[in-house]
Chains A and B, each alone.
Chain A
Amino acid sequence: MADQTSSGEAYWKANLRIIIVSLIIWAICSFGFGILLRPMLSGISVGGTDLGFWFAQQGSILVFLALIFFYAFRMNKLDKEHGVDEE
């Protein structure tokens, strides 16, 4: 019983770590590259405009997709490692 609780805690901590890293990437690619950091990316031109414009209109969406699939894959593995997956 005690084992299960400590495993549950380790599982939850690992989960929170993955969530935080993912959300940092999420914020940098949308609010960062798409809006606030766009002036910094203005030197990199993409089809008649700059990289920040691309991130705002398309790049951020592609990053979101990658993040969700990465999270699902990583968590389903983590569930098994900690023995908390559904039978």
Chain B
Amino acid sequence: MDQFTINLLFVGASFALYIGIAIWARAGSTSEFYAAGRGVHPVTNGMATAADWMSAASFISMAGLIAFVGYDNSTYLMGWTGGYVLLALLLAPYLRKFGKFTVSEFIGDRFYSPTARLVAVICLIIASTTYVIGQMTGVGVAFGRFLEVDSTTGLLIGAVIVFAYAVFGGMKGVTYTQVAQYCVLILAYTIPAIFISLQLTGNPIPALGLFGNAADGTPLLQTLDGIVTDLGFKEYTAHNGDTFNMVLFTLSLMIGTAGLPHVIMRFFTVPKVADARWSAGWALVFIALLYLTAPAVGAMARLNITQQFWPEGATGEPVALETIASDPAYNWMKTWEQTGLLGWEDKNGDGKIAYFNDGDAEAKAAMEAAGWGSENELTNFNRDILVLANPEIANLPGWVIGLVAAGGLAAALSTAAGLLLAISSAVSHDLIKGSINPAISEKGELMSARVAMAVAIAVATYLGMNPPGFAAQTVALAFGLAAASIFPVLMMGIFTKVNNKGAVAGMLAGLITTLVYIFLHKGWLFIPDTNSFTDADPLLGTIKSTSFGAVGALINFAVAFIVSKATSPIPQEISDLVESVRIPRGAGAAQDH
């Protein structure tokens, strides 16, 4: 059986499973559509949250970003897990006690202001749409490889499938489907990692193998540091970038995690306040299984790739074109070349492909002296292909490659579906029913939810063709936006008595400054070449556009406190509401209104 058929089999079987579950658990009423009737156990909820959370960014993109940068990109690992501590301690139990369906309902009621609700909805839509753009990039890579077409065609096919899939069921369908998706994606991520860890270190647990020794007794990370520095790249385990930016970026990802609607919504679906606290922990257990493996995947893949190009080490001969063409160990290069995401060129015509950092004078001189030319001949290696290509690079059996294809699609699909749900509920429940037409029928509300999904996916697909960065980087921008706009007001809503005007001013200040800062660096509305600055040389000091969310959040807090102090204090009934949200007793089922 050839690889394409195997992939088709694995992807087909996993899809049949999800669709089967979605049909079995189809949503009936509006309240089921949004919050699954609140009958979800904390462990189940945690697993579904994990699937919802771990998107194309975590599964497909993150290990690749770590692999090619090393220690400095640990920010993704800390940032995307540390936010759960904030969620569990600062938000989840209180929002559950409050007992409404959406984040913007909380903001609207707590700040007794339809304007606050409207602004929150706009913030949510902007952050979620940016997030979906990142997902679509991942969908393009995964479908492109799986169907053996270029990534743009893959993206278009993927968009149609994501839409059909999200429209099928509401949260309930999605909750149980996502449990299945979690199982597929965690197996798909860890099984190849176990194989590779065994090959390189003899340790079956990748997270431990990362700090283990290679067959010759030298620690894996030392071998890796050695070979990459010989080729003129930065030392893998060293801190090379800017410390201030690294701290800000990690903080942005953390508080963004606690401000994203599709994650927070999950905590509305558990039966009790106590369960909301446990749920965040369970979600992180299931997330940690992947996140503890990811740094091992990154480091081991980097070592494997480098050694494939330099089979005799950095001082030996680079791989020959002839070997790439004939040796089955290099088949992955040919299959990925089709997607347009991998490229090489024998620039000096010596029949060999020399992969090194030609921006490093010392490495360049050494390569010239050895006769391999003065230019890097691995012309294109898209970071987003690393995880999907990893089992092929390590020469693992065909079924593992098929499983990884299914896992990558599961990751991208589940998060895209969760986000589309959040966007559609924001538009239909908060925007239309909450502000524009409160008398809308339940049927009309469901209909407008689906129209909103279609529009969101069309926009995301269009922008996904020219994404502002690799999948995880685009997703990081979405986190910055959520961090700057939503998290601060939720926290102030629970822990302080900031008033309506303060909240509105804070959200607007945080959102607008962050959005403008991002657009200045990534192009207005992410349209290429409309940017005035780049992240290599940012507007303010060393603060990159991906790290600005933390600054935006600070602005949000500051503006809200100042405006709130200058205007009238909150009315008594809101003060009572804040007091009641702080105490678990009396948390009934949520009410619709």
A contact residues vs B (CB 8 Å cutoff): 8, 11-12, 15, 19, 22-23, 26, 30-31, 34-36, 38, 46-50, 53-54, 56-58, 60-62, 64-65, 67-69, 71-72, 75-76, 79, 83-87
What residue in chain B is nearest A38 (Cβ atoms)? B239
Report the minimal beta-carbon distance from B551 to chain A, rounded to whole angstroms. Answer: 16
Are A60 and B219 closer than 8 Å at their CB atoms?
Answer: no
Contacts of A15 in B (CB 8 A): 582
Report the minimal beta-carbon distance from A49 to chain B, rounded to whole angstroms. Answer: 4
Q: A72 is contacted by which of B71, B281, B295 (Cβ under 8 Å)?
A: B281
Determine which residue in A48, A83, A86 has the highest number of CB atoms from chain B within 10 A of its CB, and name it.
A48
B contact residues vs A (CB 8 Å cutoff): 71, 74, 77-78, 81-82, 84-85, 88-90, 93, 207, 210-213, 218-223, 225, 237, 239, 243, 246-247, 250-251, 254, 272-274, 277-278, 280-281, 284-285, 288, 291-292, 295, 579, 582-587
Are A65 and B291 closer than 8 Å at their CB atoms?
Answer: no
Q: Which 7 A-B pairs have the closest CB atoms?
A: A48-B219, A47-B211, A56-B74, A48-B221, A72-B277, A68-B281, A48-B222
Contacts of A76 in B (CB 8 A): 274, 277
Contacts of B88 in A (CB 8 A): 68, 71-72
Q: A31 is contacted by which of B81, B212, B250, B277 (Cβ under 8 Å)?
A: B250
Report the minimal beta-carbon distance from B371 to chain A, rounded to whole angstroms. Answer: 32
Contacts of B210 in A (CB 8 A): 47, 57-58
A interface SS class: helix
Contacts of A68 in B (CB 8 A): 84-85, 88-89, 277, 280-281, 284
Complex A-B: 11 CB contacts under 8 Å: A22-B89, A30-B82, A34-B78, A35-B243, A57-B74, A58-B292, A60-B82, A61-B291, A61-B292, A64-B84, A69-B281
Known: A60-B78, A72-B274. A65 touches B281 (CB 8 A): yes
Report the minimal beta-carbon distance from B222 to chain A, rounded to whole angstroms. Answer: 4
Are A64 and B77 closer than 8 Å at their CB atoms?
Answer: no
A34, B243: Cα distance in complex, Å: 11
Report the minimal beta-carbon distance from B249 to chain A, rounded to whole angstroms. Answer: 10
Report the minimal beta-carbon distance from A16 to chain B, rounded to whole angstroms. Answer: 8
Report the minimal beta-carbon distance from B359 to chain A, rounded to whole angstroms. Answer: 25
Report the minimal beta-carbon distance from A8 to chain B, rounded to whole angstroms. Answer: 6
Report the minimal beta-carbon distance from B223 to chain A, rounded to whole angstroms. Answer: 8
Contacts of A53 in B (CB 8 A): 71, 74, 221, 237
A65, B46: Cα distance in complex, Å: 13
Are A48 and B239 closer than 8 Å at their CB atoms?
Answer: no
Contacts of B583 in A (CB 8 A): 8, 11-12, 84
Report the minimal beta-carbon distance from B66 to chain A, rounded to whole angstroms. Answer: 8
Are B211 and A84 closer than 8 Å at their CB atoms?
Answer: no
Contacts of B274 in A (CB 8 A): 72, 75-76, 79, 85-86
Are B273 and A86 closer than 8 Å at their CB atoms?
Answer: yes
A83, B84: Cα distance in complex, Å: 27
Are A71 and B89 closer than 8 Å at their CB atoms?
Answer: yes
Contacts of B254 in A (CB 8 A): 30
Are B284 and A86 closer than 8 Å at their CB atoms?
Answer: no
What residue in chain A is nearest B299 (Cβ atoms)? A57
Contacts of A35 in B (CB 8 A): 239, 243, 246-247, 250
A49, B299: Cα distance in complex, Å: 13
Contacts of B584 in A (CB 8 A): 79, 84-86
Known: A23-B85, A67-B85, A72-B274. A48 touches B211 (CB 8 A): yes
Are A26 and B85 closer than 8 Å at their CB atoms?
Answer: yes
A51, B82: Cα distance in complex, Å: 19
Q: A57 is contacted by which of B77, B90, B219, B251 (Cβ under 8 Å)?
A: B77
Are A61 and B250 closer than 8 Å at their CB atoms?
Answer: no
